A and B are shown apart, each in its own frame.
Chain A
């Protein structure tokens, strides 16, 4: 194994510097295990927020409109699958096709939320979100997404994505979906059309901000 006995090549200088720079590293856990750690942090944040939420109002809302579970499940599933995809994309040998993993759940989330809007138009007396309530929603999604994105990006930095912008964008989707899931704790009314647009805009903003700033952060980590 002696390096001295090997034939010299034009890369010897580079190989020598890389060997001199070698420090022990601990191999990363599998992506799903790392995603689980982040999801546990989201769950802990959810428990903290639930202590402040009006849980009977949420229960009444779900009882009145059981199909809302679909929208909540869609958002939660998007969060889980996007987190797994982000950790897969943070590895240099994984396919970019992983970015499509959260797509079916995201479609379910959008479709079920859209169905909720239709109900507010069709069923008289339904309480839809007013403009100031929509503003609160966007603030909530942004405020919760920022720390969750920061945590997720800090975890992704330990890997080495070759497409950092894509990995960061999917991390943004995971964070925004987590924030939208937690928003249900404080959203005891149906989503109106404008409310849905506000939610979509907030999620889009988080994804774009992650792609821009998170991508730069992951690139600076070495990619």
Chain B
């Protein structure tokens, strides 16, 4: 329960701690130096925690914001690097949890669609439109999933019977297809 007082790890830690103490007093130059030094350390923590490369920036930004808002909680007698590492680790875990939840929601989107199908969405796909073109460019498995589950509004069971693919495989293909469509249509915009 009681955690040992984190000791300074060397002159580097003492320098960062001094900058943070100066920042607590309102020294902007020291603060800029400190935050610049922090970014590399936060990136290393995020990589070690397994954050995907394209999300490391998010962890760095969230951690810098936390450092800013929580700067009054830092005790200059304690190790700054230990303080920063714990905050960066928690922000990395928060981000991965959030990303995991989003992925889960997307994976279950076909089920939600099945229950709350909106007829007008299918009509929006006009021949020759950007979406139709983007769907045509998808790999066969993904295109098949989009055609059966979204365009023809079939249930997972019906689509599975029609294509001979498992429901799980259809869900995964639809998830991947939605991701590529979002990327392609986003770029076109």
Name which of B56-64, B159-167, B174-182 contacts chain A.
Answer: B56-64
Q: What's the Cα separation between A100 and B61 when bound, in Å?
A: 31
Nearest-CB distance from B96 to chain A (Å)? 15
Q: Is B75 an interface residue (CB 8 A)?
A: yes
Residues of B within 8 A of A10 (CB): 57
Contact partner of B1 (CB less than 8 A), chosen from A18, A22, A97, A160, is A97
Residues of B within 8 A of A97 (CB): 1
Q: What's the Cα separation between A25 and B1 when bound, in Å?
A: 29
In contact, B33 and A6 (Cβ under 8 angstroms): yes
Given contacts A3-B33, A23-B26, A160-B69, whether A9 and B87 have CB atoms under 8 Å apart is no
Nearest-CB distance from B185 to chain A (Å)? 26
In contact, B90 and A18 (Cβ under 8 angstroms): no
Fill in one digit per residue for A9-46: 1 if any B CB lies within 8 Å of its CB, else 0: 11100111011111111111010000000000000000
Q: What's the Cα separation between A101 and B39 when bound, in Å?
A: 34
In contact, B73 and A3 (Cβ under 8 angstroms): no
In contact, A91 and B73 (Cβ under 8 angstroms): yes
Nearest-CB distance from A81 to chain B (Å)? 10
Residues of A within 8 A of B86 (CB): 92-93
Q: What is the total of A-B residue contacts with beta carbons within 8 Å?
A: 102
Q: Is B82 an interface residue (CB 8 A)?
A: yes
Nearest-CB distance from A1 to chain B (Å)? 6
Fill in one digit per residue for B1-45: 1 if any A CB lies within 8 Å of its CB, else 0: 101000000000000000000011110111111011001000000
In contact, A25 and B29 (Cβ under 8 angstroms): no
Q: Is A158 an interface residue (CB 8 A)?
A: yes
Which residues of A pack against B, CB within 8 Å? 1-3, 6, 9-11, 14-16, 18-28, 30, 90-95, 97-98, 100-101, 158-160, 162, 222-223
In the complex, 14 of the A-B residue pairs with CB atoms within 8 angstroms, ordered by the A residue number, are: A9-B36, A14-B61, A18-B35, A20-B28, A22-B26, A26-B24, A27-B76, A92-B87, A92-B90, A93-B86, A97-B1, A98-B1, A160-B69, A162-B87
